[in-house]
Structure 1
């Protein structure tokens, strides 16, 4: 039976599409992205409301523990619980390893890995408290299965999400909580366009299949 879902990184791209699909499947959906994306979230929320499904806007930075905890508490308070967490938020930096700074690497890990970890942890705590199980999903990528040139930091973060997901699935399964990661290929989103533009600018003569990555 449909229930209540949170989708992070929902203002555009794959996150937006996931939110819309969950709504079509009958879920009440809480929409998350950075506070700077509030307008886009509100536009999507208005679109969803026209279908008659409940929605809630919850801007937060998923790399900040206090904001993730507050987001989940707010969603539970306003919507009545949590049945599905889609930890979709993520960023990509396109650079050769020799030009990737420590700040670049830490920024990607903070959002992609720490953000996913925090969403998994606090969603699981809420679902365990409710006692009715649930489903948690994380955004991996084809780049979580094979490293790609110019995507060293990004690919590292996505490999980490696969490991984190496997551990979470084993630990949370006893509570009836399913944990999975999805690994899409190339999808026509703003992130993919930005990635390809950067790659072509940095290494225009390098034969790499970035079109197959997310």
Structure 2
């Protein structure tokens, strides 16, 4: 893809999403960053970081679980930059809750953001890319828990399995339009969300040590590791990869 194409990154106010947005800016994309209104100040600072790199950026407040919000986000990006070439449906939440204690509201919140949100991003990015007629890249956020279930992370696990299915189905439908659809399946990554998939109150050092022991490399992943993979999937060089959910987990789980 030529430089100055446009990418949208959801859930970009911090952690993995922020690092993805910065990396795509380095790759020459105009970058539209998204998150919820409570994180607008973080988004504003991120836009400043991106524009300091010499590429255009703006932020768009939207709840990815709401169809009108996602439709509006895509329309605004296209009105401002003229096109959409990459959609990174990264926004997600987690919750470590025993099955018998999980409420339907807790279940719905996680599923709506993690699964419905990805579906809506795929839908409206796909519609725009087909309209443009020159292909594109759509990327979703699954997880190692989308390949191997985890106790006490029931809704999160189910939502990330759902992303894999959405990705395969969309890849088949969008392929004739030269749009690739893939997902990533990170293992444990050193972000604030790491605490949300472990027992409440677990000291951070204990979390990190436990994660390292699971990896033959004795390492914990970083947002940069994920951004490196996204950079490749978003590139022209990834044109023969579609329908995949790509593991990136330091060897803690082998496909």
| TM-score, normalised relative to structure 2 | 0.78
TM-aligned CA deviation for residue 194 of structure 1: 3.7
Q: Find the aligned partners of 1:211 and 1:39 in 2 and give their Cα distance.
A: 36
Tell me the residue number matched to 2:139: 137
Equivalent runs, 1:36-115 vs 2, <5 Å: 36-115=38-117
In the alignment, is the contact (CA less than 8 A) between 1:148 and 1:210 conserved in 2? Answer: no
Q: How many residues align?
A: 209
Query: Is there any run of 5+ residues in structure 1 with no aligned partner, and where?
Result: none
1:176 corresponds in structure 2 to 178
Deviation at 1:35, TM superposition (A): 1.4
Q: 1:23 aligns to what?
A: 25
| CA distance in structure 1 between the partners assigned to 2:27 and 2:39 by the alignment | 25
Shift of residue 211, structure 1, vs aligned partner: 8.4
What is the alpha-carbon root mean square deviation over aligned residues? 2.0
Q: Does 1:123 align with 2:125?
A: yes
For residue 200 of structure 1, report the CA deviation from its aligned partner. 3.9
For residue 13 of structure 1, report the CA deviation from its aligned partner: 0.7
- Alpha-carbon separation, structure 2, partners of 1:98 and 1:209: 26
TM-score (norm: length of structure 1) = 0.92
Q: Partners of 2:132 and 2:58 in 1: how far apart?
A: 20
SS of residue in 2 equivalent to 1:77? helix
Deviation track 1:39-90 (CA, whole Å, cap 9, x = no partner) reads 0000000011111110011110000000100110000001111000000000
Deviation at 1:195, TM superposition (A): 3.1
Equivalent residue, structure 1, for 2:36: 34
Provide the rounded CA distance (Å) in 2 between the counterparts of 1:112 and 1:211.
28
Q: Is the 8 A contact 2:188 2:211 kept in 1?
A: no
d(CA) in 2 for partners of 1:49 and 1:36?
A: 22
CA deviations on 1:152-206 (whole Å, 9 max, x unpaired) are: 11000000000000000000000000000000111111111343352749xx9xx
Contact 2:143 2:185 in 1 (8 A): yes
What residue in structure 2 maps to residue 158 of structure 1? 160
Instruction: Name structure 2 gaps, 5 residues minimum.
Output: 215-220, 222-248, 250-255
